[in-house]
Amino acid sequence: MTGLHLPPSARITHVIYDLDGTLLDTEPLYVETTNAILARFGTALDPAMRARMIGRPTPVVARMLVDLVGIDMTPEAFVEERDRILHDRFPSAKPRAGAKELTTHLARHGVGQAIATSSSTHSLARKLLSDPPWFESFDAIVSTDEVRHGKPAPDVFLEAARRLGADPASCLVFEDAPSGVEAALAAGMYVVALPEPLYGDLMPGAHVALDSFTDFDPAAWGLPPHSR
C-alpha cells in the first residue's frame, strides 16, 4: 500500500467506480475465456501483454491482442466468440470484497456515486444482472459507448461527474487498471487503485493503492466514517 497524498484542503463529495475488476470480479472470466480461444492457436495471454490491455475498451483490446499474439483471427471475430461465451457468465459475477458494503454505506449517507466503465452497453447490461438492486442504487452508470474516447482518455469519468453534478476535483475514483488510473488523473480526480498484485507497480500516479475495499477508510477522505 502506498502513502496517502490527499491535500488537507481537498473535500471529496462524490465517488466514481470502475466496474470490471473493481466492483465486480469479472477479470478471471475474461482471462479464462480469452485463453480458451488462444489455446486453439497454441498460445496464451501472458501477464505483460494483459497489463497493456486491461481496462481498455473492447475494440482496442481485440486489435492489440490480434496484433501482439499474431493469431489467424480478425479482432471482430475474436470479440464475437469471446462475447458469446461471456454472455452466459457475466450474470454470475460476484462483487469484489468490501465493494457492496462501502457503496451501501455511502449511499445510506447520501454520497453521490457513479460507475464509469469500459464495458460496451451490451456487456454492461449482462453484468448488471448479477445484482440488479445493488446497481440500481448508483446515481449514474456510464458506458464507454456513451463517450467519444475510451480510457485512458478521461471522457467516461468526466461524463460520470457531469451526470452527478459534481466538480471533477471533488471526485474520488476507484480503479484496478493502469489505463483507468491514467484516465481518472487526466480528469483531474483523486484515485484509489485496487490493483491485482501483479500490476501494483504500474500505477505510480494513484494517490493511494490498497489491497481491497476493506482497507479503505472513508473518514480519511472526508467521507462519512464507518460506524464503530
Domains and CATH numbers, the chain: 14-26+93-221 (3.40.50.1000), 27-91 (1.10.150.240)
Which residue numbers are catalytic?
Answer: 18, 20
Q: Which residues pair with 142 in a beta bridge?
A: 116
Give tens-digit pLDDT for 139-195.
999 999 999 999 999 999 999 999 999 999 999 999 998 899 999 999 999 999 998
Contact in structure between 144 and 118 (CB atoms under 8 Å) = yes
DSSP state letters, 163-201: HHT--GGGEEEEESSHHHHHHHHHTT-EEEE---GGGGG
Provide the total of helices (H) and of strands (E) in the chain, helices listed first. 9, 6
The pTM score is 0.88
- φ and ψ at 61, to 5 degrees? -60, -45
**Tell me: the pLDDT tens digits for 44-67?**
988 888 877 877 888 888 898 888
What are the distances in angstroms from CA 7 to CA 34, 220, 225? 41, 11, 18
CB 202 within 8 A of CB 195: yes
> How many whole angstroms separate alpha carbon 120 and alpha carbon 213?
25
- CB neighbours of 56 closer than 8 A, spacing ≥ 6? 64, 118, 150, 151, 152, 177, 179
For residue 58, what is its C-alpha cell? 473492447
Distances (CA, A) of 133 to 12, 106, 139: 25, 15, 13
Could you read off the pLDDT of 9-40 as tens digits, one per residue?
668 999 999 999 999 999 899 899 999 999 99
State the DSSP code for 176. Answer: S
Q: Is the peptide bond before 8 cis (omega within 30 degrees of 0)?
A: no
Q: Are 21 and 195 in contact (CB under 8 A)?
A: no
- Least Cα distance to 119 among 58, 204, 32 occurs for 58
Are 171 and 190 spatial neighbours (Cβ–Cβ below 8 Å)? yes
What's the average model confidence in pLDDT over 118-143? 96
